[in-house]
Structure 1
């Protein structure tokens, strides 16, 4: 093994392919063959795809399974602060030593051949999961589904497709139907799929693909449903009614994610206690996360500080709905986004909720929009917008003008990661 740290090895992996995203599976299959096909030696797999909510749904599934006393591997992306967040082995984040050894092995097996960063690191995760005992393996797609590097398990135990909306149009298509066709690529013959709430054109595509593949769909509104009643969450499916606490993850949209997680757990035979653990014990940072301590909080002691990594129009709408549910308070936004996103589509639903916007660029990210570009887009949407050199500078400006306000830092998981790192 080389002497490289995981960071150094990951940097080397970034150089193996000129494109960050290149959706084919040929390179993945080649490397998996060189690694003796770890994808065939995994615990029962739950494979998740969707535009919004798949990470939260996976977090709830993990909480429910672990609440039942069983162990889970989990793979998610992107990470917020450290790559290690992407790989959980039997419930624990992968160690630095284990990660470095895996990455080194995968680099050696791949040799000089082209492969994207996501592809080779996904292969590393699968290798880790194949070698470490666990009861379940949760795989979240990175982008799309049909050609995603995670889509290599021939027969998962279950698939889950959360709500599909517009995002990554340059890779997945510029209509809901085209994007749904890519997500539907995770459907497998004879494997049931829990389907979250969908727009009609997305559901039509999923139903057509299921008929072609022989997959069984368990569809929100048909085979299961979820609602809130008297401060509780109620799920109804083929197993009957289940009364549970509301999800501990904030936001009204988490109700549908929790419903999908509970429907999945009940289909797999987990009991009510596991379902309650799913909705009360899940942890998923940078999703409407309230920051309560750390240097950023200390610098603005009277501010209510919220952090959210959502970045597409559906996420903007969900965020606006959550702000409506909060006690009235002037709300200022600190926003940084990638140049691949529909910035105006994200910002428009939030316009009536926001007093002012401070635009920032995302440090260390080449695909960031400049603060000036984000501020221009915000003004087009009706915001009172200005630019700031950093999140810290933006927060200081808001603190000086409105010291008891609510501040929402949002627009990108990459920005959220820098904030969590800066805040300790």
Structure 2
């Protein structure tokens, strides 16, 4: 009998708990104790919470540490195409054999007890990070912070809170104050926390929590600043003015993410803290798939006339839409065609509003093989309420085919967006 694949084991793990999300640390603490507390044996941790920007900020940190010659592990969620992407060992996805072995181990130790998919796979990730030699671990929160499965690390080297916005309100609360309070749950006594640009309400919540724990905060606009230039990022931190390259990741919001990463890197222990050349490399080399990513080949790009461009972005909340809109505003004028697929758990109207105002056309599509996909007719109705008629298509490739057929030959931009799940499907189709 052949050994099960990681996909087969993961499918079993999904069914261990009746809820997809059940925020608690009790189950994590139990299984980690039974596994010998691997979370206490991982390399120094950079712990990131926040609504948007965690992945891009983490990518800059990982690139800078790698440029310094450090072996960097990363924990990322969700994945785009393959689960292996969530667990990066020395900046590479975990290999299938090691992943399968670790999954079987945690499944055996758990012995069928109720535990959420994110919790048991996070426990498995800690095993991987503890056993594979590394110098640093960039650890992203899955949701919230206070009760997130990653929040079992007693003393990270540094914490980061990226911008906090409304998202996951069902689980985290319906106000910025409540959501930021949950995100600030990762703060630890005496561990410095770098706070990215925040809504004032969110910053007050973070400062409240920090005061309770005696956590030193480094707050944007008070303790550090950055300037955005066409070909440079300037960071002012601790009395120094750092001149760095333009971020490799496009969009004005990426300047803030890169600057946040730089300030956090400078708070690492001397053994890890990158020098100026490595900081510059982190900013200029960071890569983060599914975020304003240009697609060069595949079934959709094969349909494009000369001079056309296809971009993919997994942003799915109102703040991400505003960041996309700001990115679009930096580009030379040309027709913009949107192809949108969204989950029914997201606020379609708030996401669409800033983008529709800039679009020549919008086509709504389902997310293939996704039970929570919002029907195209619902998305089209949301667009109509905003005063923008929208087309519908049965598949994203059909949407691009229709856009090209109904448009002039003028070079145009097609932006596929609305969901990280959708971005993963598209990337799987496009290599």
Which range, TM-score by smaller chain? over 0.9
TM-score, L = length of structure 1: 0.98
Looking at structure 2, the residues matched to 412 and 229 of structure 1 have their Cα atoms a distance apart, in angstroms, of 30
1:415 and 2:422 aligned: yes
**Any conservation in 2 of the 1:42–1:130 contact (CA below 8 Å)?**
yes
Instruction: Tell me what 1:114 maps to.
Output: 114
Shift in Å at residue 33 of structure 1?
1.1
> Which residue of 294, 297, 303 maps to 1:293?
297
> Which residue of 357, 371, 374 maps to 1:369?
374
Instruction: Tell me what 1:379 maps to.
Output: 384
**Any conservation in 2 of the 1:2–1:104 contact (CA below 8 Å)?**
no
Instruction: Tell me what 2:213 maps to.
Output: 213
Looking at structure 1, the residues matched to 228 and 420 of structure 2 have their Cα atoms a distance apart, in angstroms, of 29
Looking at structure 1, the residues matched to 142 and 250 of structure 2 have their Cα atoms a distance apart, in angstroms, of 23
**Any conservation in 2 of the 1:354–1:383 contact (CA below 8 Å)?**
no
Shift in Å at residue 295 of structure 1?
2.9
**Any conservation in 2 of the 1:67–1:277 contact (CA below 8 Å)?**
yes
**Any conservation in 2 of the 1:351–1:382 contact (CA below 8 Å)?**
no
Shift in Å at residue 239 of structure 1?
4.7
Deviations 1:29-86 (CA, angstroms, capped at 9, x unpaired):
1111111110011110000000010110000100000011111110000000000110
Where do residues 99-178 of structure 1 align in structure 2 (5 Å cutoff)?
99-178=99-178
Instruction: Tell me what 2:261 maps to.
Output: 261
Shift in Å at residue 267 of structure 1?
2.0
1:314 and 2:319 aligned: yes
Residue 397 of structure 2 aligns to a residue in which SS? helix
Deviations 1:186-222 (CA, angstroms, capped at 9, x unpaired):
0001100000000111101111100101111001011
Instruction: Tell me what 1:88 maps to.
Output: 88
> Which residue of 392, 404, 409 maps to 2:397?
392
Shift in Å at residue 405 of structure 1?
2.1
Looking at structure 2, the residues matched to 40 and 66 of structure 1 have their Cα atoms a distance apart, in angstroms, of 23
Worse-matched range after superposition: 291-300 or 32-41? 291-300
Instruction: Tell me what 1:343 maps to.
Output: 348
Count of aligned residue pairs for this structure pair = 424
Looking at structure 1, the residues matched to 244 and 297 of structure 2 have their Cα atoms a distance apart, in angstroms, of 30
TM-score, L = length of structure 2: 0.97
Instruction: Tell me what 1:237 maps to.
Output: 237
Looking at structure 1, the residues matched to 298 and 366 of structure 2 have their Cα atoms a distance apart, in angstroms, of 22
Instruction: Tell me what 1:270 maps to.
Output: 274
**Any conservation in 2 of the 1:73–1:88 contact (CA below 8 Å)?**
yes
Residue 295 of structure 1 aligns to a residue in which SS? coil
Instruction: Tell me what 2:41 maps to.
Output: 41
1:75 and 2:75 aligned: yes
Q: Which runs of no fewer than 5 residues in structure 1 stay unpaired?
A: none
Aligned structure 1 segments of 4 or more residues deviating by more than 4 angstroms = none
Looking at structure 1, the residues matched to 263 and 350 of structure 2 have their Cα atoms a distance apart, in angstroms, of 31
Q: Which runs of no fewer than 5 residues in structure 2 stay unpaired?
A: none
Residue 236 of structure 2 aligns to a residue in which SS? strand
Worse-matched range after superposition: 268-277 or 141-150? 268-277
**Any conservation in 1 of the 2:299–2:397 contact (CA below 8 Å)?**
no
Shift in Å at residue 293 of structure 1?
2.1
Instruction: Tell me what 1:225 maps to.
Output: 225
Deviations 1:309-358 (CA, angstroms, capped at 9, x unpaired):
00101001010111111111110100011111111111111122111111
Deviations 1:98-155 (CA, angstroms, capped at 9, x unpaired):
0011111110011110011111111111010000110001100010100111000000
**Any conservation in 2 of the 1:50–1:161 contact (CA below 8 Å)?**
yes
Residue 316 of structure 1 aligns to a residue in which SS? helix
